[in-house]
Amino acid sequence: MKSSANQNLKPLTTRINDNGNLEISGCDLVELAEKFSTPLYVLDENTLRTICRDYKEAFSSYPNTRLLFASKSLCTMATSRILAQEGFGFDIVSDGEMYTVHKAGVDMKTVLFNGSNKGIDELNLALELGVGRISADNFLELSLLNELAGKAGKTVDILLRITPGIECHTHEYIQTGHLDSKFGFDLTQIDNAIELVIDEYKNLNIKGLHAHIGSQIFETKVYKDEVDILVSELVRINKKFGLNLNELNLGGGLGVKYTNVDYPPSTYEIAEIIIDALNENIQKYGIEPPVIYLEPGRSIVCTSGVTLYTLGSSKQVPHGTKYIAVDGGMADNPRPAMYQAEYFAQVANKPDAEPVQNVTIAGRFCESGDILIKNIKLPYTEEGDILCVYNTGAYNYSMASNYNRVAKPAMVLVNNGTADIIIERETLDDIIRNDKIPQRLGE
């Protein structure tokens, strides 16, 4: 089976250059750290475009495929422009993501608005900008969306998000397809929802079903199970209600290689399983091939990104752990604290040096749980060395905060020896920009 970029531990263009430093897409990581300061997010355009093309090639034999990038994994104007150029639409979950892709010049008809508690202002913005699909998550949203669409004089194309009852063996916080979930309609609620749309909500037009079974998925059978359940439901609904629904959104969730012990499937393996399952069901039920949507996020952008840190203080616990601190941590990468996520790293200015010490990489923030990497083997290090943490393209910037009032890092896009800022580093004035002191408190 052909491999794909999500199975790589490092960006595709990573190498050791003539200076003895790590470089990505012809850009020396030590020089990037010196020029742009650290912490610094670095995104490899070559790897990003390659994985997009992997997906398109993998699903090319099923022409009714629509690829949507899950913007929650990384939403910037520059990355949105790249994904749109590669033929992707967008799965968005907020007005902020919606506005970002709109300002990036994305065709809003290729956008699907997802989420479990969409606000009135967000739904109105979706109507105003002409978002192509809205994934309706619950009964309140159906009523609200119908009302708002009526006021706007529009008919809205929707998918019904359902919980298909599939549980993946991932962290419990990133399982979204099992029965006890905050997302979507339970299978027992679908008919009631459809009856409401048919009988009462005349401003809504159901096009199909939407499900998402989890994240960082390494299992493969779950995708066949999902296709079987969704096609079966689609056929049942069409027969019972005399409808002609023909769209299925299978969500995303394909895993990536964060460490050497991770072995995610390739996009080609997943595509073969999904397409085979679709063809089996098409033949079984004698139906026209449905349009399928896929929402990869992490597997698109994660491997493309690294984060650079400068090493600072260290502490040797007697007969215990050696801690080495970096100038970032849980504010620019909360995933280890939230999910016990694991990462692989190298010292960018000593990539060939023999790893001789077991250390724990600690963040700078005032939390005992601010640990980026536990028990990693590194060469002897010094203050000022540059640490490169791999596979940080997804969810690191998206989930970043200003904890301890620390400014968020910059992000650069590298390609063929050129590094362009795509997210400016925040300043101290940015930190206090929205602060107000009531006049009664005096000067």
Query: CATH code at 318?
Result: 2.40.37.10
Active-site hit among 27, 52, 168, 366: 366
144 and 170 share one domain: yes
Q: Which domain holds residue 186?
A: 45-301
- pTM equals 0.94
Query: What Rg value do the Cα atoms of the chain yield, rounded?
Result: 23
The pLDDT value recorded for residue 167 is 55
The DSSP call for residue 169 is S
Tokens representing 416? 């063929």
252 and 367 share one domain: no
237 and 379 share one domain: no
166 and 262 share one domain: yes
366: annotated active-site residue: yes
The DSSP call for residue 134 is E
344 and 213 share one domain: no
Residues of the chain with pLDDT under 50: 168-179
Distances (CA, A) of 387 to 33, 216, 261, 266, 349: 10, 25, 21, 28, 8
Whether the CB-CB separation of 312 and 327 falls below 8 Å is answered with: yes
10 and 123 share one domain: no
